[in-house]
Amino acid sequence: MSLYLRCLGELESAGRETVSSKELAGKFSISSALVRRDLGLFGAFGKAGVGYEVKSLKDALMSKLGLKRAWKVAIVGAGRLGLALARHKGLTQSKFKIVAIFDKAPERTIAKRDSGFEVLHVADLPRTVKERGVELGIIAVPGANAQEAADTIVRAGIRGILNFAPTHIDVPHGVFVHHVDFTIYLENLAYYVNEASHQKGHSVDRGGRD
Amino acid sequence: MSLYLRCLGELESAGRETVSSKELAGKFSISSALVRRDLGLFGAFGKAGVGYEVKSLKDALMSKLGLKRAWKVAIVGAGRLGLALARHKGLTQSKFKIVAIFDKAPERTIAKRDSGFEVLHVADLPRTVKERGVELGIIAVPGANAQEAADTIVRAGIRGILNFAPTHIDVPHGVFVHHVDFTIYLENLAYYVNEASHQKGHSVDRGGRD
């Protein structure tokens, strides 16, 4: 759905008012029937010969994805990764606002050398989450500390966790985790590069659309 | 395929010798017919009543994914993100070996304050890629520099790029890009959290399996 949303944003910027399921299908290399089914799940139905209205479809998706408003996010772990994420333009220019960064040893982080990061002690997490209305958590601690960080986040009432630690974390039913596993992405790339080198002249271009 | 591989690794560690398509299907919430089709694409066929041999299936997948050997990886961008990736246990303990890190201004990176990173000037990239046999590249520069980094990587003969910059990059046919877009992961989490809060008692547990 996020990918549809991105695509619709691009079409809107380009001044397009309508788009057919066939055109959307082409962009994602899937069938137009699947596009119609996907969008139908969101109550969006195109008109025969016209397609979908870009603006209202985008609106419907954003509403369904809960993106009509900002989401407050906390990061646990103020090492290089946590601080890099806090400053990453992909996040700072999005609906997702980093409103707090926690660490077990805030006095030892490199944050102070640079501008603007107030790193809080992880003991302050429950109170801060409540006070600032944090809804999503990012785990950016070493693997050995990831479960502990997850437990703290879950106890504070957060229901969505993005896990950058290289380890599986257990969470109770009703809490959602997305594990960002860098090796999976590299494995996928390795697979394509490997295939292409064995099938000269028959490589699939996945450029940017992966 | 990477997910099957992970799952098989876990089964192997647990001492399991065989696994049924039904069990694999259950782990990924897909149909066992789809599991059989997926694995069939890799020339792996289970036996009725027995299933797949864990070890030989894992072997076949690894071979197909090109993971029977190490892959050499270079990072472009020695800011916080690049250095965090270079040290991330998820990578350092994998088949993917970071053999070089480049920056436009190696003398200005924070690497020197810490141990062990030799950051090279990006002008040395083509030569180093050749000398060290680099096959995959990671882009960890700001969005404004991402295309330039991609062009340099591609010109050096690298065919697979993991892009952490918050921008689309254009690459020639035959070069594979995976864009790591943090906001997509957060959008997915926001969607589930949003849905769950509207459907009390009917939340889907995606814990770790997302």
ipTM value? 0.80
Task: Write down the CATH number for the domain with range A2-64.
Answer: 1.10.10.10
The type of residue at A182 is F
Q: Which of B1, B160, B190 comes nearest A160 by C-beta?
A: B190
Q: Which of A64, A185, A196 comes nearest B162 by C-beta?
A: A185
With CA atoms as reference, report the closest residue to B67 among B165, B1, B152: B1
CB contact under 8 A, A180 and B180: yes
To the question of domain B71-179 being in CATH 3.40.50.720, the answer is yes
User: What is the 3-state composition of chain A as percent helix, strand, coil, each rounded to the nearest 5?
Assistant: 50, 15, 35
What does the alpha-carbon distance between residue A103 and residue A105 come to, in Å, rounded to a whole number? 5
With CA atoms as reference, report the closest residue to B90 among B100, B80, B98: B98
To the nearest whole angstrom, how far is the Cα of B127 from the nearest Cα of chain A? 21
Q: Which of B169, B189, B205 comes nearest A160 by C-beta?
A: B189
pTM attached to this predicted model? 0.79
Sequence ranges of the domains in chain A: 2-64, 71-183
pLDDT in tens, chain A (210 residues): 778 888 888 888 888 899 988 888 888 778 888 888 888 877 777 888 888 989 888 888 888 878 888 999 999 999 989 999 998 988 888 889 999 999 998 877 765 555 467 899 999 999 999 999 999 999 999 999 999 999 999 999 999 999 999 988 999 999 999 999 888 899 989 988 988 887 754 434 444 433
What does the alpha-carbon distance between residue B84 and residue B106 come to, in Å, rounded to a whole number? 16
- Give B54-87 pLDDT, tens digit per residue: 988 888 888 887 888 899 999 999 998 999 999 8
Q: What is the largest CA-CA distance in chain A?
A: 63
Interface test with A, best of B189, B193, B194, B206 (most A CBs within 10 A): B189
CB contact under 8 A, A3 and B184: yes
To the nearest whole angstrom, how far is the Cα of B170 from the nearest Cα of chain A? 7
Q: Which residues of A touch B194 (CB under 8 A)?
A: 65-66
H helix or E strand, kind and range, residue A37: helix A32-41
The type of residue at B158 is I
Interface test with B, best of A61, A186, A200, A210 (most B CBs within 10 A): A186
What does the alpha-carbon distance between residue A18 and residue A10 come to, in Å, rounded to a whole number? 12
Tell me, which fold does domain A71-183 have in CATH? Rossmann fold (3.40.50)
Q: Which of A175, A176, A190 comes nearest B66 by C-beta?
A: A190
Q: Is B201 exposed, middle or buried (0-12, 13-18, 19+ CB in 10 A)?
A: exposed
Q: How far is CA A66 from the centre of its chain?
A: 13
